Every structure is written in C-alpha cells, then in structure tokens.
Structure 1
C-alpha cells in the first residue's frame, strides 16, 4: 500500500498527539485476508489475536467513524461491503461471521444472529466524509431489505421491537429479563432517522417520508413507555411491558437519536456528573454505580468503560449542543487510555477493549483471562482518533456541504494539518501571535468555515484556495 500521510494533529499535550499517531501506525496489523488469515492491507478489519477470526457487525460499523480520517490509507467501507454481500434473500444480515468460512455465527441465545441496526447511521456519516452519492444509491436497497427483515421478525403489537438482550452486545449486563431493550429500539429509531436523511440525499421524498414516520412512531413509544420520570432515565421493558430497575449505559442511546425533549435531556446529562450513577472518575461506566451488580473491577458490562459506548454518549451530548461536557469527558477518557498504555508503575501497558471505571487500568473479569482484549484497535480508534479530531480539537466536517465547523472551547495551540477532503488537503491551526490569537489555514479549493469560539462568537467565512490567516479578535 503506498502510504499517503495521515492527517497530523496539533495539541498542547504531546501525549495525545503521540497516541493518535501510534493508533494509525498500529492499525495495519488488524487487516486480515479472509482466505489466508495473513495480514493484508486489502483485507478485513478484525481483532487479529483470537483463535477464531470474527467480523462483527457493531464493531465494523463503529470503526468507520475513525477510518474516514485516514486520508484513504484505509478504506472505511470495506467491512460494511463484506456484510452487505452476506445479505440473505429475506433481507437478513447476521451480527457476526466467521472470517475464514464466511458462515454466520449464531447461538441458542441469539438464534437469528440479530445485531444493533446501525448501518444507515454509519452510511450517513460516510456520505458527509466521502461525498459519494452513488454509494448511497447502491446500498439503499440492501438497507431497506434489512429494515424490512427486522420489522417482519422482531416488531411486536405494541410497536416496539423484541430481541434477545444478547443481540445488543452487552454480554453479561444485568438485564436478563429485558424483552424490549432500550438500545435496540433506539438504534432502530436512529437508523430510521438516518434512512430518511439518505432518502433526502437521493431526492426520494417517499422514502424519506416513510422512514421519518417510522422514526416519530418509535420516538413517541420510547418516550412514553421506556422513560422513567423518577429516575430521569430510559429503561428496558420486560415481557409484560414493565420497566426493569437497572440503569445501564444503554439508556443514553436516546440522546444520539434525538429522542428526549430538553427537560429529559437535562435529566440524562445530570447523570454524567452524578457520582452515584454515571459520574465515575473514568467516564462512563457501562452500569450505574447505584446498581447492586456494579463492580469497581468492571467485570465486563457491570461497570467497565468501553470506548465505543463512550463514543455513543459523547455524540449524543453533541446533539444537544453540550460541547463543553462532551469535550471534558473525551479528555478525561483519553487520559485514562494513556495511563493504560503507559502505566505510572513502569509496567507494560496496552490499548484495551475495556477500562476500570474508578481508577486507572484495564477492566477485570473474574475467571476470564482473555478480557479485556489487548491492542483492540477496532474500537479504541474511536477515542484516540475520532474523539480527538471531533471533540478535543473540535472539528466537524461535511464534504458535500463543503463546510468545516470548528468549535473552540478555549484558546489553545491546536488544529489539524493535511486532512484530505476529497482531493482537497486542508490545514487549520490556531496559534498565538504578537497581535493576539490567530488561525492559519491552507486549502487547495474553496470551502466554508464556521468558527464558534467559547460560545460567544460564531462566524461563517468562505475560505479561498491557498494560504490565509485571520485574527480571532477581528472576527
């Protein structure tokens, strides 16, 4: 693979820059050729250190959110296309496949192999980062058939979806009686919302309307049946439609799907700073601290902090303009990841699948020495790359709109250099000059730049090709 450069980031804490650079360098070992099982740049992105090589639907979807920043050194769509090719005549795509045999992996607890339905969420983001409208057109029938399969097999008379709790991926989370899981139902709503947006991209009004209606119908049900005003949280339901007492991190998915109104969102956000629920030292535990099953060791989904679930919560906070909370949590989370990589006692660290909620170090699960998986690049890149660019530095990019939004929470030396935007390399850096804080930019083509500083100044400017700089005080 002819290596183009990855985008460079600038940040006042060099450790953050180092872990970002290391992530890109370490990713290459996780691309495996399905036929040979050997490392190959044209392979499939999996966790390579396991006896059985498995392509996992949820991990594949999440990984696209950081691979889009690789300046095309890695193809973000590879795993999704592998899964789409596996679609069966009835529309089914299973949650896991054996990479070598291509066979679906199902078991008695999840006989249909249903996974979290998030393909459209990933595709909408891919469209904004790659601007490939033809792809949207090609994959739309696959996504529609997949949604129809879920509707036909899992939708119940109350308008909600009933799937095995195991399908949500939170293996040992204490939700054994969950028949209507909050995360699965919310992911269906989120997927419908993004299907509607993909319909808009294709100028297909009927498609857009069909999925918007599905979204609002689910939104209404989730708010009326799964919300608990006393706990200020969303809960799973049992077979009879009663709310279950556990508060798991799954209750934050509705933020990402824009389901709560402002008051409900305030209640959810309050949990993030509440030390008795989700306000642990290392944000965010997978189970509420006040749950009887919560463990400070993590014990899998009984409190461990997982990068992909942190990504979900932080992106949900963004939907409600809580950029300051999102950034603060992202930075705290990254410090714990750094501690895990370079432990203070000088022992050998790594990048892990899951971390302790109340102090530094990898999570622990009694009797399972394979937990947490080490060098778990397929999810850790969400923290060290995607959150780093989008929430710590604060950049949000859309190719089809030709826009870059930069939310600067405080003036620091930071930015990005040589980020490829569809044959257009851009650089945006903030720096201190004798005349005050300035921003330097470089681009090959015109784009629109919106800067939002400390929530006090917001301005959109057309940025011409070539180099330019501006003083923030002059905005």
Structure 2
C-alpha cells in the first residue's frame, strides 16, 4: 500500500469520511496557482559552521512549506496555509501551529491570514468551500495572535479581531458553550467538547491527540482533559494581554478574572504533587487522577499556571519522561501503552506538542533543557531524513530510531512531506533553541539571545517589525548589521544596536 494512504487521523480517516458521506477531492480542487517561486532572500538565513546538515534541513522545510501555500476558490482567505492532509478540509490546530514558523517570512507564507478561514466562517457571515474539520480543536487563536504581534509589531490587527469583530471573545464563548455532538454546516465532523463545573469533557480526535492512551480505564468521555482547561485559560490570558496592549481595560480585567478561575481549578484538581505532573481527572468525585504521562501536562505551564516549585518538577519530568536522544514522545516510554513504533499518539514524536512544551519550559527560565531537547529532536529529524527513504520531513517520528512513526497500527508510516507543522523543528526550534534567538519582540524592539554554541553561528536577514538584522558570533566577537536600532541581549547583557555595522566583544560561556 502506498504510504501516502496512511495519513494523519489515517486509522480513522476512511471510516470518518464514509460516515460523513465525503470522499477525498482530487488535487484539481485548487484553482490555478498564482504564486511564483520561493524567494529565499525574504527568509532568515541561519549560520552554523559546525552543523551544516541542520541548515540544509531548514531550507528543505521552507521548500516543502511553500508547496502548502494553496489557493482555493470560495475561501474567505486565499492563499492560505494547507496542513498537508486532506484537500477538502482546514484544521484549526494545524493552522495555529504553522503560524509559528510562517512569521519568519510573513510576506510569502499566509499564516495569520489563514485564521480568517475560521473567524469569518465560525463567527461571521462568510461561507467557505472547504470544511473546518474539527471546530472544537484546541482554542489557540489568542495565544498565536499575541505571539505573532510581538514578533511583527503589528498591533493594528488587535483592534480588528478584539474590538471590531470580537473574534477572540466569540471563539472563547464557543469553546465554553458548544454542546457535544453538534454538527455545524461549516464543519467536517461533529463536536465533542462539553464544559462542566471543574473542566471539559472532550475526545481524542478533537483534542488533536487522536489515539492517545489518555483516559485509560475510564474512557475519553469520562475524563476532564487537562489540555482543554489549560488551553482555555491560555486563551483568556492572551485575550487579557491583547486588550491591555490596545488600552481596553474593561476587557483586560474581564478575561484576567476568567483566567484566574481556570488557574485555580487546574491547581486544585489536576496537579499531582507526588509525581510532579498535571493529569487528566475522572469526571466523578473524588476526581481521581488518570495517570497517563503525555506532553499535554505542559499546557498549564505554557499558560503560566504553575508556581516555581511546580515548574521545577515539570522540568525534571521533561528530562525523566520525555528527554533523551529522541525527546518528546507523546506518551512516556514507561507507560504500558507506549509503542516503540510510535503508533501515532502512543509514543510518536509530534512537533506541535514538542514545540508547545519547549515554549512552556522557556516561560520559567529552563532554557538549557529546552535547547538541549530541541537540538536532539532536530538531529533526530535530520537522521531520519538521511537514513530513511523517501528522504523528507515526516508527520511524526519514531521514538526509538531514525524512521517515521507508524500510523494507528504497527504497519504503514505517517505522512511524508509534512510541512505542515513538522516545519516547527527545522525552522522555529532551530532559530529559537538551536541557535538561541529565543525571544524577539518587535513592539519593544528587543532580541534576546542565549548564546550557547561554540562554533561560528548566528542568523542573517532576520526581520521583525520594520527591522532587518544579521547577528553572527565568532569566538569572542559578535558582528551585527542592522537597518534600525534595537536592544540585543546576549546571555542577559544588553547591547545597543545602531543602524549600520557594529562589533561587540563578549565573554563566552561555552
């Protein structure tokens, strides 16, 4: 069988399509492409004299992602970023994570613009020629919007989505109030989200972790999902911060209060002090923990819900259960449902959850761990690229050796050419963690660089806001070129960058 038939959600795909009365559309569904060739001069260029193979993988990811810039008649936003799965659908969860790498070349990759294919259809009056497959996918819009604006400096969009159209508030309310088993006209599948007093019931495919062993012993429908409540809290937190940015004090106050409610619930019911982990819980009192260790436990950390002691335990959990040479398996290796073949979400290494957990560690200052695991993951992707045919980037990765993960069974591999969110590794994690440019803020005009490599390395033509800069470290010297002023923090020490070329002397910590 052609491995391309083993697509994501693949072990459910054919049955789901059959139940929905749908069939895969031919590639001719797309209007004639209007894009030209990829312009690499509009993309940051990494420099790593000690690891050129990772740089090669970086450019391969951009090339594959370029193939996912699609045009489609009848869509509110065209072109848009296609996730690389089905021609007849768009996915909230995939699109949200793709924005994290699209932001590095926003003139070519319509990441944030693709959100209009959800906003204007779900919360406006537009129709669309493609279905939103799971409208109760993780509610990540506000987190992504805030992150994107910090990087690009474009806060004008906030007034449109928060004040004029109220898309973020409407989506927050949607996740709060939608009833399970609702089938909207614009949707490819029915919903499963249901809010109750202390949490959300959900389901594997809607959560994005299709065949996860979470809920073992009680079933998906009988747990409150830790990611759902943390993600909704994350949405409230970012709506509040967006409102603060544009001076909407009333909305900021309202959503800060909503965030606090979720934060208190998460720490009261979902935290396990002995294990140092957040878990899903049984829906029946006394709300016992359903102890399946997955990266979903790091969503509360990303949402800044844990204190310093809890964060320290989560960092240790990251190293103990999700670390090693092949980090971030989607269930810990000591779990009875862990599959050495990957088996999709029963051990497969997925870039969205790996990236999320990496950003969670960074929130509490665990940059060394975040960077080490990121390097190991990108190296694993490169090893798979070299040692497995076809030589490409995959949907998910084997947690034990350099091959792709299997799909829902133990034969047949996940989807190839998946950039798609798998570009997060070779692009975003390479820039932010392997190279160390972990925080770029166009609003404050700041770049924070954790310089931790010993080779000549850095980045050329990094664009943020209205600034283009190149920063290269070589020995005890950092050479900077910029067309605008900003503050460059190298391992915490501030350097004032002026327009033109400059050289800074530094004390290496490696």
- Matching residue of 1:9: 46
Q: Could you tell me which of 131, 136, 142 is aligned with 1:103?
A: 131
TM-score normalised by length of structure 2: 0.82
Alpha-carbon distance in 1 for matches of 2:254, 2:405:
43
Preserved contact between residue 91 and residue 133 of structure 2 (Cα < 8 Å): no
CA RMSD after TM alignment: 2.5
Preserved contact between residue 246 and residue 291 of structure 1 (Cα < 8 Å): yes
Q: CA separation of 1:163/1:353 partners in 2, compared to 1, >3 Å: closer, same or farther?
A: same
Once the two structures are superposed, the pairs formed by residues 236-251 of structure 1 within 5 Å of their partners are 236-240=280-284, 241-251=287-297
Q: Deviations over 1:298-327 (max 9, x none)?
A: 111111100111101110110111111111
Q: Deviations over 1:66-115 (max 9, x none)?
A: 111115222321211221111246x9x9xxx9x7x333436xxxxxx411
Alpha-carbon distance in 2 for matches of 1:10, 1:215:
40
Preserved contact between residue 93 and residue 137 of structure 2 (Cα < 8 Å): yes
Alpha-carbon distance in 2 for matches of 1:280, 1:7:
29
- Matching residue of 2:62: 24
Q: Could you tell me which of 136, 156, 174 is aligned with 1:149?
A: 174
Q: Deviations over 1:225-265 (max 9, x none)?
A: 01112222111122213321222221121221111212212
Which shifted more, 322-331 or 359-368?
359-368
TM-score normalised by length of structure 1: 0.88
- Matching residue of 1:328: 372
Structure 1: segments with no counterpart, 5+ residues:
107-112, 453-457
Alpha-carbon distance in 2 for matches of 1:474, 1:229:
38
Shift of 1:216: 1.4
Q: CA separation of 1:234/1:403 partners in 2, compared to 1, >3 Å: closer, same or farther?
A: same
Alpha-carbon distance in 1 for matches of 2:140, 2:506:
39
Preserved contact between residue 247 and residue 291 of structure 1 (Cα < 8 Å): yes
Secondary structure at the aligned position of 2:462 is classed as strand
Shift of 1:398: 0.8
Secondary structure at the aligned position of 2:67 is classed as helix
Shift of 1:42: 5.3
Structure 2: segments with no counterpart, 5+ residues:
1-35, 179-192
Once the two structures are superposed, the pairs formed by residues 374-393 of structure 1 within 5 Å of their partners are 374-393=416-435
Secondary structure at the aligned position of 1:359 is classed as coil
Preserved contact between residue 253 and residue 313 of structure 1 (Cα < 8 Å): yes
Which shifted more, 409-418 or 380-389?
409-418
- Matching residue of 1:86: 121
- Matching residue of 1:168: 207
Preserved contact between residue 447 and residue 489 of structure 2 (Cα < 8 Å): yes
Alpha-carbon distance in 1 for matches of 2:46, 2:323:
29
- Matching residue of 2:11: none
Preserved contact between residue 81 and residue 109 of structure 2 (Cα < 8 Å): no
Once the two structures are superposed, the pairs formed by residues 280-359 of structure 1 within 5 Å of their partners are 280-343=324-387, 347-359=389-401
Runs of 4 or more, structure 1, over 6 Å off, are none
Shift of 1:369: 6.4
Alpha-carbon distance in 2 for matches of 1:421, 1:404:
9
Q: CA separation of 1:427/1:281 partners in 2, compared to 1, >3 Å: closer, same or farther?
A: closer
Shift of 1:368: 7.6
Shift of 1:122: 0.3
Report the number of matched residues: 445
Q: Which has the higher contact order (CA 8 A, sep 6+)?
A: 2
Shift of 1:64: 0.6
Q: Is 1:116 matched with 2:159?
A: no
Secondary structure at the aligned position of 1:460 is classed as strand
